[in-house]
Amino acid sequence: MKNGRRGQEMKPFAKQTTGQALVEFALVVLILLYLVIGSMEYSRLFMMFNIVTTASREAARAGAVADNTGSPEAAGEARGNDFFNSAGYPTGHVDVRLSGGIVIADATYDFPVSMPGFLPGLSGATRQIQRTTTMRKE
The pLDDT, as a whole number, for residue 94 is 94
Summarize pLDDT for 85-132 with one digit per residue, the tens.
999 998 999 999 998 889 999 999 998 887 777 766 667 788 899 999
17 inside domain: yes
pLDDT at 133 over 90: yes
Tally of structural domains, the chain? 1
Residue 92, helix vs strand vs coil: coil
pLDDT at 101: 87
In a domain, 1, yes or no: no
2 in a structural domain: no
Q: What pLDDT is stored for residue 56 in this prediction? A: 95
Query: β-pairing, 102-112 with 93-99?
Result: antiparallel
Question: Is residue 3 in a domain?
Answer: no
pTM, two decimals, is 0.75
> How far apart, in whole angstroms, are the C-alpha atoms of residue 97 and residue 76?
9
Local confidence band at 83 (pLDDT 50, 70, 90 cut-offs): very high
Domain range enclosing 20: 8-136
What is residue 8's predicted lDDT score, i.e. its pLDDT? Answer: 54
